[in-house]
C-alpha cells in the first residue's frame, strides 16, 4: 500500500530562532493554510491580509514584505504552540472550510467541483484516496490468476506497478532501457530538467520534500522514480532491456499473446489477460531529413541520445532545433563548447520564472517536512496556477478580429506580456529581437519556462543563432539555405520525437485480426485515450490525446488513467468476466467531442505547426480538457460504454 497517512513527516524540536529563520523561505499563502491546520482557527482568512490572485508562478500571493513579515510572526506563535503541545493537531477542517481555504490561498474563485479533487490529490484527510481497494471479496488465487503486462517503466508504468501491487494482481513490466524513468532515463542531455514545479510533479501519494531545485534536473527525476519503484516493490517485476515486438489477442481464450525480445535478441511468447501500454509519446527520436546527413564525419546524435564521453571543451557544435530540449541544452553546452551554432526554424514563446533554476532553500525544505499540510497546499497552489487556470487561454474566440496575432483577447494579453519579456531581455538588440520573437499566438506550441538563460546564451560571443533552414550537411559541417556553410565537430539533432506514432513500432493485433495502426491510421478513435474498440483488455496510459499542452502534471493525468484501468480490472476479476472492450459508439462519441474541442484550440490555429497535430493538421496527441473534467470522467469506468464478456 502507499503509505501517505501523515500530514508531514517530522515532529518539531527546533527552537524559536531556528523556526523563525526557516519561515523566511516559506510561501506565505501555503504557510497560512498550515497555520489554520495547526490552530484549528479559520478566522485567519477573515483578517486583512489576503493573498492576491495566484498567477504567473507567484507563490507569495503578491503580499508586501511587511504583510509577509506580519504573517511570519503570527505563524511563529502558532508553530511554537504546536511544537510545545507535542505536535498534535486539532480536528481537520471540514469540506466547506477546505473550500474557503482553496479560494483563499489562490485569491480567486475556485468552483466547488474542485474540492473533492483537491482533497484527493493532496490526501488532505490523511489517506491516499486513489489507492486501489476491492469492493467485493476476491480470493488471492483469482487475483494472481489475472496476469497483466505493463509496457514501459517510466512514471506511468511504475505507477501501474504500485497500484497492481495494491490490488495483489500478478504483473510484469517490460522496459526497453537499462533503467527506470522512461523519458527521465533517456533524456539526460546537459541541462535536462523538469519544467513543471516538482512539488506538483510527483506522485500524489509520494511527496518528495528533498527536491534540490524547484524544477529539478534529470538525475534527480530518474532517482525519484527509481526510489519509488524500490519502495513500492515494483522493481522486482521489471524486465529491463526487453522490448515488446507484438501483441495478438486470442479471442477464444481472451488473452494477449505477446512476443518479447531481450537485448541478446532472444524472443519469447508470453500470455497475459490484459496489457497496459505505458510506452509514452516522446521516445522515438525524429531526425530531420536533410541531404547529406550520413556523410558527416564528426559526431552526430539526437538530444535524447547524448554522448557523455564527448568532451565539449573547444568543440564547434551545431544544434538543429530550438524546442524544449534545445532550449535547455544550449545554455548549458555554451558554457564549455568552443562555438555553438543554433539553427532555429521557429522561435519559442517563453514564460518568465525566476525559480526555474533556483535551489529549494533549506527553510522551505524544513517547512515541507515539519509544517502540517504545508507541502500539500503548496502543491495545490502550483496546480491552480499552472493547470486549469490557463485552460481558457487555449480557445479561439470566434468574435476576436485579430486572429493573425492571437486567438482571443486573453491570448493577446498574454502575447503582449511575453513580448515585453523578450523585449526587455533583448534591450537595444533589435536584430536579435526580430529573430526570437514568435509570430504565432502564445501557447500555439509548448510554452517554455525561462529565467533568462536562453537569451543569455544567445548573446554569448561563442553562440550564433541562425534563422535560415538547414539545406545540406556534408562531411565537415552544415550549409543553410543561403549557402552559408560552417564546419563543425558535432551536430546535435534536437528535432523532437514521433509523438503521434502511438505504440510504434509494436504490432498490436486485436479481435478478428484487426491491426491497431491500421484501425487508428493517423487519427485514433479511442475512449478517453485509454480503450479502443476491437482491442479488449488493452489499455493505454499517455496514449492518444493524453499529452498535456496547457499545463498541469502528466503524473496527475497518469494517476487518473491508472485508476480507471484498475477499476476495469476490478470489474473483470470481481465478476469473473473474461474481457472488457470499448464499444464503437463510445469511442465515436468521445472522438467527436474531442475533435470539436481540439479544433477550437490554439494548437489547431491556422498556420500553427507543432507536434500535437498529425500530418493532416488535426490535434491528436494533446488533451483539450480541463484536468478536473478528465479527473471526473476517469474516476469510474462507465460500464455501459463497454462490451463485457
Ligand atoms: P520539439 O519540441 O518537437 O522541438 C523540435 C525542434 O526541432 C523544433 O524547434 C523544430 O522546429 C525543430 N526542427 C524539427 N525538424 C527540423 C528541421 N528539419 N530543421 C530545423 N529544425 C527542425 O522536440 P523537443 O525539444 O525534444 O521537445 C519535445 C517535447 O518533449 C516538448 O514539447 C516537451 O513536451 C517535452 N520536453 C520537456 C522538457 C521538460 O519538461 N523540461 C524538456 C524537453 C522536452 P519547429 O518548431 O519549427 O517545428
pLDDT in tens, 146-175: 999 999 999 999 999 999 999 999 999 999
* Ligand 1 atom nearest to CA at 322: 9
Percent of the chain residues topping a pLDDT of 90:
95
Residue-wise pLDDT for 527-583, tens only, equals: 999 999 999 999 999 999 999 998 899 999 999 999 999 999 999 999 999 999 999
| pLDDT (0 to 100) of residue 363 | 97
Q: Ligand 1 within 6 A of 613 CB? A: no
Residue to mutate, 181, 331, 345, 468, ligand 1, most ligand atoms under 8 Å from C-beta: 345
Residue-wise pLDDT for 575-610, tens only, equals: 999 999 999 999 999 999 999 999 999 999 988 999
* Ligand 1 atom nearest to CA at 324: 25
Q: Ligand 1 within 6 A of 447 CB? A: no
Q: Ligand 1 within 6 A of 325 CB? A: yes
Q: How far is the CA of 327 from the centre of ligand 1 (A)?
A: 9
Phi, psi of 193 (to 5 degrees): -150, 165
Tell me the pairing of strands 477-480 and 485-487: antiparallel
2: pLDDT strictly greater than 70: no
| Dihedral sign of CA atoms 8, 9, 14, 17 in order | negative
Residue of the nearest CA to atom 33 in ligand 1? 324
Q: What is the Cα–Cα distance from 277 to 261, expressed in whole angstroms? A: 16
Phi, psi of 207 (to 5 degrees): -65, 145
Q: Which of 194, 153, 490, 158 is nearest to 313 (CA)?
A: 490
Q: What is the Cα–Cα distance from 621 to 544, expressed in whole angstroms? A: 5
Residue to mutate, 190, 197, 323, ligand 1, most ligand atoms under 8 Å from C-beta: 323
Q: Ligand 1 within 6 A of 611 CB? A: yes
| pLDDT (0 to 100) of residue 368 | 97
1: pLDDT strictly greater than 80: no
Q: Please, what is the angle between helix 28-39 and helix 362-370, to 10°?
A: 30
Residue to mutate, 324, 480, 622, ligand 1, most ligand atoms under 8 Å from C-beta: 324
Q: Please, what is the angle between helix 374-386 and helix 28-39, to 10°?
A: 140
* Ligand 1 atom nearest to CA at 303: 26
Q: Which of 491, 492, 432, 430 is nearest to 464 (CA)?
A: 432
124: pLDDT strictly greater than 80: yes
Contact (Cβ atoms closer than 8 angstroms) between residue 384 and residue 18: no
Residue-wise pLDDT for 403-461, tens only, equals: 989 999 999 999 999 999 999 999 999 999 999 999 999 999 999 999 999 999 999 99
Q: Ligand 1 within 6 A of 321 CB? A: yes
Residue-wise pLDDT for 195-239, tens only, equals: 999 999 999 999 999 999 999 999 999 999 999 999 999 999 999
Residue of the nearest CA to atom 5 in ligand 1? 495
Distances, alpha carbon 620 to alpha carbons 72, 157, 287, 297, in Å: 48, 22, 21, 38
3: pLDDT strictly greater than 60: no
Residue of the nearest CA to atom 14 in ligand 1? 495
Q: Which of 348, 339, 352, 278 is nearest to 540 (CA)?
A: 278
Mean pLDDT, range 385-395, rounded to an integer: 91
Contact (Cβ atoms closer than 8 angstroms) between residue 295 and residue 311: no
Q: How far is the CA of 494 from the centre of ligand 1 (A)?
A: 6
Count CB-CB contacts under 10 A for residue 5.
11
Residue to mutate, 182, 302, 321, 470, ligand 1, most ligand atoms under 8 Å from C-beta: 321
> How does the average pLDDT of the chain come out, rounded?
96
Grid coordinates representing 95 are: 469540506
Res. 8 pLDDT band, cuts 50 70 90: confident
Q: Ligand 1 within 6 A of 343 CB? A: yes
Q: What are the residues facing 497 on neighbouring strands?
A: 285
Q: How far is the CA of 505 from the centre of ligand 1 (A)?
A: 21
| pLDDT (0 to 100) of residue 6 | 55
Q: What are the residues facing 267 on neighbouring strands?
A: 261
* Ligand 1 atom nearest to CA at 609: 48
Q: What are the residues facing 539 on neighbouring strands?
A: 276
490 secondary structure, DSSP code: E
Residue of the nearest CA to atom 23 in ligand 1? 496
| pLDDT (0 to 100) of residue 298 | 97
Residue-wise pLDDT for 460-515, tens only, equals: 999 999 999 999 999 999 999 999 999 999 999 999 999 999 999 999 999 999 99
Q: Is 235 helix (H, G, I), strand (E, B) or coil?
A: helix
* Ligand 1 atom nearest to CA at 326: 25
Q: Ligand 1 within 6 A of 195 CB? A: yes
Res. 7 pLDDT band, cuts 50 70 90: low
Contact residues for 216 (Cβ-Cβ < 8 A; gap 6+): 193, 194, 198
Contact (Cβ atoms closer than 8 angstroms) between residue 643 and residue 581: yes
* Ligand 1 atom nearest to CA at 449: 41
Q: 406-430 burial, b if ≥16 CB within 10 A, otherwise e?
A: bbbebbbebbeebbebbeebbeeee
Q: What is the Cα–Cα distance from 16 to 445, expressed in whole angstroms? A: 48
5: pLDDT strictly greater than 80: no
Q: Ligand 1 within 6 A of 481 CB? A: no
Mean pLDDT, range 52-81, rounded to an integer: 96
* Ligand 1 atom nearest to CA at 470: 19
Q: Ligand 1 within 6 A of 284 CB? A: no
Q: What is the Cα–Cα distance from 538 to 277, expressed in whole angstroms? A: 8
90: pLDDT strictly greater than 80: yes
Phi, psi of 384 (to 5 degrees): -65, -45
Burial of 521: CB neighbours in 10 Å, binned 0-12, 13-18, 19+: exposed
Contact residues for 642 (Cβ-Cβ < 8 A; gap 6+): 531, 568, 580, 581, 582, 583, 586
| pLDDT (0 to 100) of residue 332 | 98
Q: Ligand 1 within 6 A of 194 CB? A: yes
Grid coordinates representing 43 are: 478566522
Q: Ligand 1 within 6 A of 446 CB? A: yes
Residue to mutate, 495, 548, 609, ligand 1, most ligand atoms under 8 Å from C-beta: 495
Residue of the nearest CA to atom 17 in ligand 1? 288
Q: Which of 508, 514, 503 is nearest to 272 (CA)?
A: 508
9: pLDDT strictly greater than 80: no
| Cis previous bond, 505, omega within 30 | yes
303: pLDDT strictly greater than 80: yes
Tell me the pairing of strands 170-174 and 147-151: parallel
Amino acid at each position: 500500500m502507499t503509505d501517505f497517512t501523515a500530514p508531514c513527516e517530522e515532529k518539531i524540536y527546533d527552537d524559536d530562532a531556528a523556526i523563525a529563520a526557516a519561515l523566511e523561505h516559506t510561501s506565505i499563502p501555503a504557510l497560512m493554510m498550515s497555520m489554520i491546520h495547526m490552530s484549528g482557527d479559520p478566522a485567519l482568512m477573515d483578517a486583512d491580509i489576503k493573498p492576491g490572485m495566484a498567477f504567473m508562478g507567484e507563490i507569495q500571493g503578491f503580499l508586501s514584505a511587511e504583510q509577509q513579515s506580519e504573517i511570519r510572526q503570527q505563524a511563529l506563535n502558532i508553530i511554537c504552540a504546536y511544537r510545545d503541545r507535542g505536535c498534535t493537531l486539532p480536528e481537520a477542517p471540514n469540506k466547506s472550510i477546505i473550500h474557503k481555504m482553496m479560494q483563499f490561498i489562490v485569491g480567486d474563485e475556485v468552483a466547488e467541483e474542485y474540492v473533492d479533487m483537491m482533497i484527493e490529490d493532496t490526501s488532505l484527510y490523511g489517506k491516499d484516496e486513489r489507492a486501489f481497494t476491492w469492493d467485493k471479496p476476491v480470493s488471492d488465487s483469482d487475483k494472481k490468476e489475472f496476469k497483466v503486462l505493463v509496457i514501459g517503466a517510466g512514471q506511468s508504468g511504475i505507477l501501474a506497478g504500485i497500484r497492481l501491487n495494491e490490488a495483489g494482481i500478478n504483473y510484469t513490466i517490460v522496459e526497453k532501457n537499462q533503467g527506470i524513468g522512461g523519458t527521465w532515463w533517456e533524456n539526460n542531455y546537459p541541462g535536462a530538467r523538469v519544467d513543471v514545479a516538482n512539488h506538483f510533479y510527483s506522485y500524489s501519494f509520494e511527496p518528495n520534500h528533498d527536491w534540490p531545485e524547484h524544477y529539478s534536473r534529470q538525475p534527480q527525476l530518474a532517482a525519484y522514480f527509481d526510489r519509488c519503484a524500490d519502495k513500492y516493490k515494483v522493481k522486482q517485476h521489471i524486465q529491463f532491456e526487453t522490448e515488446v515486438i507484438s501483441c495478438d489477442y486470442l479471442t477464444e481464450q481472451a488473452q494477449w499473446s505477446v512476443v518479447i525480445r531481450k537485448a541478446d535478441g532472444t524472443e519469447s511468447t508470453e500470455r497475459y489477460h490484459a496489457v497496459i501500454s505505458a510506452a509514452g509519446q516522446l521516445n522515438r527520436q525524429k531526425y530531420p531529413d536533410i541531404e547529406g546527413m550520413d556523410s558527416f564525419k564528426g559526431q552526430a546524435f539526437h538530444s535524447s541520445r547524448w554522448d557523455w564521453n564527448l568532451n565539449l571543451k573547444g568543440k564547434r557544435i551545431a544544434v538543429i532545433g530550438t524546442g524544449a530540449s534545445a532550449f535547455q541544452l544550449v545554455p548549458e553546452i555554451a558554457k564549455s563548447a568552443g562555438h555553438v551554432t543554433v539553427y532555429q526554424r521557429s522561435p519559442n514563446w517563453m514564460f518568465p520564472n525566476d525559480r526555474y533554476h533556483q535551489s529549494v532553500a533549506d527553510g522551505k525544505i524544513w517547512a515541507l517536512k515539519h509544517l502540517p499540510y504545508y507541502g500539500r497546499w503548496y502543491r495545490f497552489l502550483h496546480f491552480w496556477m499552472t493547470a486549469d487556470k490557463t485552460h481558457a487561454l487555449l480557445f479561439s474566440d470566434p468574435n476576436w478580429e485579430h486572429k493573425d496575432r492571437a486567438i482571443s483577447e486573453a491570448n493577446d494579453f498574454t502575447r503582449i506580456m511575453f513580448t515585453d519579456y523578450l523585449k526587455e531581455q533583448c534591450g537595444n538588440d533589435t536584430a536579435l529581437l526580430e529573430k526570437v520573437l514568435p509570430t504565432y499566438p502564445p501557447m500555439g506550441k509548448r510554452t517554455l519556462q525561462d529565467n533568462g538563460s536562453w537569451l543569455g546564451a544567445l548573446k554569448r560571443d561563442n553562440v550564433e543563432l541562425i534563422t535560415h533552414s538547414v539545406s545540406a550537411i556534408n562531411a565537415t559541417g552544415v550549409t543553410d539555405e543561403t549557402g552559408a556553410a560552417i564546419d563543425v565537430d558535432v551536430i546535435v539533432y534536437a528535432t523532437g520525437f514521433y509523438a503521434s506514432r502511438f505504440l510504434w513500432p509494436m504490432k498490436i493485433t486485436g479481435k478478428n485480426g484487426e491491426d491497431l495502426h491500421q484501425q487508428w491510421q493517423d487519427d485514433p478513435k479511442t475512449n478517453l485515450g485509454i480503450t479502443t474498440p476491437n482491442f479488449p483488455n488493452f489499455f493505454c496510459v499517455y496514449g492518444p490525446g493524453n499529452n498535456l499542452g496547457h499545463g498541469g502534471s502528466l503524473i496527475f493525468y497518469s494517476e487518473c488513467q491508472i485508476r480507471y484501468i484498475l477499476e476495469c480490472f476490478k470489474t473483470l476479476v470481481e465478476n469473473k468476466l473474461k474481457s472488457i472492450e470499448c464499444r464503437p459508439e463510445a469511442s465515436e462519441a468521445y472522438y467527436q467531442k474531442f475533435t470539436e474541442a481540439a479544433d477550437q484550440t490554439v494548437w489547431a490555429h491556422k498556420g500553427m505547426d507543432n507536434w500535437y497535430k498529425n500530418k493532416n493538421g488535426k490535434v491528436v496527441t494533446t488533451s483539450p480538457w480541463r484536468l478536473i473534467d478528465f479527473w471526473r470522467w476517469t474516476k469510474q469506468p462507465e460500464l455501459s460504454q463497454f462490451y463485457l464478456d
